[in-house]
Structure 1
Amino acid sequence: MGESARPRAANARRAEIIRLLQIHGFQSVAQLADLLEVSDMTVRRDLHKLSAAGELRVVHGGASLPHGTLRTADFTSRGAQAREAKRRMARRAVELVEPGATVAVDAGTTTFEVAAALPSSFDGCVISHSVPVLQHALSLSAAQVIGLGGELLAASQAFIGQQTIDALAGLYADILFLGAAAVRSSGTFVATDLERPTKQALVSSANRVVLMADHSKFEVAAPVRLGPLDRIDVLVTDRPLEAGTARAFASAGVEVLTTDSD
């Protein structure tokens, strides 16, 4: 019985390695050993078998997909910040998605985790202007995917501008997962005015808007106001809000979902 279980366990482990690479582009041996709860030696053996089958590339310290990734080093670096908190938030956020729903996903590392958390069997529709989200959507074989073109903003790995806004004019989303650079009691904020019109068009196209903002977004400032809190239906965050901020969200009628009580 133990012997027959080993191939199944190995196959499941290697399938998980490929899934993680599809989401993150690169994983170190140490990261994989920790996530899979196995030894470094076991991970290296799995990587070499997958490499021999042409499913990944073994690189210094870990592995990457054979075709590379469209995500830049900057995007990957930002995504690594509070990654586990973002993953918990994403898992909570995906619980809001109804079967067959049309889901719009904003650009950003936190919203990307929502796309990554969608089950591989998801059979709804994904709308996005985010290059990393669209790349990941290649693995959602049952889903319809609509990419919004426009001018590529390298810093956010997303298409923006009038062409993107025009593409949204004929679209409707059941739910939008929105990102922001900063959140205050007075509203949500973004880093540059280049992003604002596209984000506002995404908000206008959606029946329900879910703001994805970890605790760090309440501790920083950004110069460009995106909109008031009453344009948000749900906030998903990782820590309880400060009392004044919590009152502001409650007054705006925003449901707050927190993943961490610490």
Structure 2
Amino acid sequence: MTVRRDLKQLAEAGELRVVHGGASLPHGTLRTADFSSRAQHEREAKRRIARQATELVRPAATIAVDAGTTVFELVAALPDTFRGCVITHSVPVLQHMLHLPAARVIGLGGELLADSQALVGALTVQALTGLRAEVVFLGVAAVNERGLYVATDLERPTKLALMEAADRVVLLADHSKFSGSAPVRLAPLDAVDVLVTDAVLPAPAAEAAERAGVAVRIGEPAP
């Protein structure tokens, strides 16, 4: 049986897990670009978004920070004098917060997704119980007039829990997210309070955002 033999070889190499009736990718090996690769994509656009988004952060605010490269740029743009609290499940964000000694940091435990360098799952959701943030800064894989989308259902419960734990939801999405696609629907557009992007929205998304009452802010190039 050629297929069975091939599956066995791939499993022995750690490329997949054999399950009843088929096979699946092991956690942390989803075939998406890894964090460092994605961080370079549209980097200037992400920095424009980050600069605009920092205007929504009070000096002593409690903020929740999602995993993702655009959201990471927001944290990187926080001033050294930031003395608020950051709640996050992102390993790169946790590492960067070591450079902001005046801030308080709450790290959420969970299962590590290697590609996104995010901690997710039931433990992460449970850790959010009893926590409250003024605002969550959220990242997604794609967004359009039908809603927000993510790459895998492993991310979805944690992102939803972050949204539930915040008084306001701020979505950070560069222009490429409006022409992309992703398989898992996270939430409708009206779950977002503020959308920060780097360019004028496509007409369908702009009209949907207006109907949903989403405030749209566009980041400007650095002076």
Aligned to 2:140: 180
Aligned to 1:140: 100
Native 8 Å contact 1:237 1:258 kept in 2: yes
2:85 corresponds to which of 112, 116, 125: 125
Q: How many angstroms apart in 1 are the aligned matches of 2:158 and 2:117?
A: 13
Q: How many angstroms apart in 2 are the aligned matches of 1:244 and 1:152?
A: 36
Native 8 Å contact 1:213 1:236 kept in 2: yes
Native 8 Å contact 1:240 1:260 kept in 2: no
Does 1:243 pair with 2:203?
yes
Q: Give RMSD over aligned pairs.
A: 1.2
- TM-aligned CA deviation for residue 99 of structure 1: 2.1
Native 8 Å contact 1:89 1:236 kept in 2: yes
Aligned to 2:166: 206
Give 1:39-58 correspondences, 5 Å limit.
none
- TM-aligned CA deviation for residue 85 of structure 1: 1.1
- TM-aligned CA deviation for residue 242 of structure 1: 1.5
- TM-aligned CA deviation for residue 93 of structure 1: 0.1
Aligned to 1:167: 127
Provide structure 2 residue ranges, at least 5 long, that are not aligned to the other structure: 1-32
Cα displacement string for residues 68-127 of structure 1 (whole angstroms, at most 9, x for unaligned residues): xxxxx9322210111111111101000001121001110010000011111111000001
Equivalent AA in structure 1 for residue 106 of structure 2: I
Q: Which has the higher contact order (CA 8 A, sep 6+)?
A: 2
- TM-aligned CA deviation for residue 217 of structure 1: 0.3
Q: How many angstroms apart in 1 are the aligned matches of 2:102 and 2:156?
A: 31
- The 3-state SS of whatever aligns with 2:149 is strand
Q: How many angstroms apart in 2 are the aligned matches of 1:248 and 1:255?
A: 11
- The 3-state SS of whatever aligns with 2:49 is helix
- TM-aligned CA deviation for residue 260 of structure 1: 4.8
Aligned to 2:40: 80
Aligned to 1:194: 154
Cα displacement string for residues 22-45 of structure 1 (whole angstroms, at most 9, x for unaligned residues): xxxxxxxxxxxxxxxxxxxxxxxx
Cα displacement string for residues 210-242 of structure 1 (whole angstroms, at most 9, x for unaligned residues): 000000000111010000111100000011011
1:107 corresponds to which of 53, 67, 70: 67
- TM-aligned CA deviation for residue 144 of structure 1: 0.5
Native 8 Å contact 2:172 2:197 kept in 1: yes
Q: How many angstroms apart in 2 are the aligned matches of 1:229 and 1:75?
A: 25
Higher helix share: 1
1:225 corresponds to which of 160, 176, 185: 185
- The 3-state SS of whatever aligns with 2:56 is coil
Give 1:23-38 correspondences, 5 Å limit.
none
Query: TM-score of the superposition, structure 2-length normalised?
Result: 0.83
Equivalent AA in structure 2 for residue 241 of structure 1: L
Q: How many angstroms apart in 2 are the aligned matches of 1:227 and 1:77?
A: 26
* Identity value in percent: 65
Aligned to 2:29: none
Aligned to 2:175: 215
- TM-aligned CA deviation for residue 194 of structure 1: 0.4
Provide structure 1 residue ranges, at least 5 long, that are not aligned to the other structure: 1-72
Native 8 Å contact 1:121 1:140 kept in 2: yes
Q: Please say which structure displays the higher CA radius of gyration.
A: 1
- The 3-state SS of whatever aligns with 2:64 is strand
Aligned residues: 189
Aligned to 1:12: none
Q: How many angstroms apart in 1 are the aligned matches of 2:59 and 2:100?
A: 14
Give 1:53-68 correspondences, 5 Å limit.
none
Equivalent AA in structure 1 for residue 37 of structure 2: S
